[in-house]
Amino acid sequence: MSDHRCGTVPGSHRTSLVSGVPTIADPANITRPATSLYPPCMRDEEATTEPLIEDPRPNGLRKVDSLVLVLTGDGKGKSSSAFGMVMRALARDWDVAVVQFVKSGDWNTGEEKICQRLGVSWNTWGSGFTWDSNDLEHDRAIARDAWSRTAHLITEGQHHLVVLDELTYLITWGWLEIEPVVEAISTRPPHVNIVCTGRNAHPLLIDLADTVTSMTTVKHAYDRGIAAKRGIDY
């Protein structure tokens, strides 16, 4: 798809893209933004830290049957992180299911291609980008039907890992109430792990999760007019 765009909601990335191959910038001519613009996780180039000499992990760690993870924030990497966990799960001989709530079956992404080859139950139950839609009410009905099928899939317990890709958007848009989502996840079979992705995760979803990561944008290729790259973005 030559016009493929990553991101799943209007405004998730710039939409005025420049075609062609980008010019590689001379590092000497790159103007670095002020240090204060970088998120706390990024080090100042003058800063140094000492390597840890004691194990930082707390005592008394316990094992659980399953986990709920939420990958949110405005930065790139939410779905990519989820699909990394899919690879780990497959390596442990887990049964894995992926549900995509926005992307439609017309997409031909690299992750779908390899996951289907590896036996993942892949379900693209969305209707595509909202800005490409001619009937948002129809899309809303599709989303609700997709959640109904997803709740059944979770309850069945046939999979050790279920990825709910782009789920947060349905909640943010008001297409899906948060309560049935929390109910389905909190009452899932004990062995079923859940990974939810998407921006603006609902507070109740965050409260329910064991691990929450917010991806933060420092730079994005779109800001330089660079289109999504096959093999990297899709």
Domain-embedded: residue 47: no
Q: How many domains does the chain have?
A: 1
Longest CA pairwise span in the chain (Å):
59
pLDDT score of 48? 77
Among the listed residues 154, 197, 148, the one whose alpha carbon sits nearest the alpha carbon of residue 176 = 148
Asked, for residue 120, whether it belongs to a domain, the answer is: yes
Please state, in angstroms and rounded to a whole number, the distance separating the CA atoms of residues 1 and 160: 32
Summarize pLDDT for 173-201 with one digit per residue, the tens.
999 999 999 999 999 999 999 999 999 99
Cα–Cα dist 64/40, whole Å? 31
* CATH classification at residue 146: 3.40.50.300
Nearest CA to 145 out of 170, 178, 121 is that of 170
Give the pLDDT score at 34: 47
Report residue 135's pLDDT band, with 50, 70 and 90 as the boundaries: low
- Contact between 150 and 185 (Cβ < 8 Å): no
Which residues, in sequence order, are CB contacts of 59 under 8 Å at separation 6+?
none
pTM: 0.79
Query: Looking at the domain assignment, is residue 190 inside a domain?
Result: yes
Question: pLDDT of 21-55, one tens digit each?
Answer: 333 444 444 444 444 555 666 666 667 788 888 88
The SS3 assignment for 38 reads coil
For residue 186, with 0-12 CB atoms within 10 Å meaning exposed, 13-18 middle and 19 or more buried, which class applies? exposed
Reply yes or no on whether the pLDDT at 80 is more than 50. yes
Spatial distance between the Cα atoms of 189 and 90, rounded to a whole number of angstroms:
19
Q: What is the DSSP letter of 29?
A: G
64/112 Cα distance (integer angstroms) = 29
Neighbours of 118 (CB within 10 A): 13
Helix 110-117 and helix 78-91: axis angle, to 10°? Answer: 10
Residue 104 within a domain: yes
Is residue 82 assigned to a domain?
yes
- Rg (the chain; Cα; Å): 20
Residue 135 tokens, joined: 């009937």
pLDDT in tens, 8-28: 443 443 332 233 333 344 444
Backbone angles phi, psi at 70, to 5 degrees: -125, 125
Find the domain containing 100 and state its range: 69-215
Q: Is pLDDT above 90 for 134?
A: no
Is position 148 within any domain?
yes
| Average pLDDT along the chain | 82
Residue 12 domain-assigned? no
Specify the pLDDT at position 18.
32
Higher per-residue pLDDT: 107 or 10: 107
77 part of a folded domain: yes
- DSSP conformational letter for 25: P
3-12, 70-79, 130-139, 206-215: range with lowest mean pLDDT: 3-12
